[in-house]
Amino acid sequence: MNRRIIREHVFRMVFQKDFYDREELPGQLSLYLEEVAAPQEEKDFLLERALLVADRAEEIDRELDAVSERWRVSRMGKVDLAILRLAVFEMKYDENIPASVAINEAVELAKKYGGDHSYGFINGVLAKLVQE
């Protein structure tokens, strides 16, 4: 599985975070992974990655609130929020992913899954985060 496919699966899993409580989330993500055609080691990596993002969601959300003008996390669309959470996680906690790559990949996810203006919004929020 290449990085883009991994990122897309993790995004789909992170998206589920707001629909299940913390205790249910691992089970729901495991159900998702049953449909993914990949070796178990890759599935384990996807699950671990998604849970790491979910575990840091409150901290990430505070950072997003600090840089997103007039758009509190509570007002953001669930797709945009999941993309932003994943991108911020990659920028802050994954030393193997440069911020520019995380931003570019987030914009690509937004073009595929978000609304008409999602990619511009996501690019703007992440660019402000990099400036700070």
Query: Domain 3-131 falls in which CATH fold?
Result: N-utilizing Substance Protein B Homolog; Chain A (1.10.940)
Q: 67 and 128 in contact (C-beta within 8 Å)?
A: yes
pLDDT at position 69 is 78
pLDDT averages per 10-residue partition of the chain, 132 residues: 95 96 94 96 97 96 91 92 98 94 97 95 94 76
pLDDT at position 71 is 82
Q: CA dihedral in degrees (115, 119, 79, 50; nearest 10)? A: 160
Q: Where are the domains of the chain?
A: 3-131
Phi and psi at residue 95, in whole multiples of 5°? -70, -15
The pTM for the full model equals 0.94
Give the CB-side neighbour count of residue 59, counting CA atoms within 13 A: 10
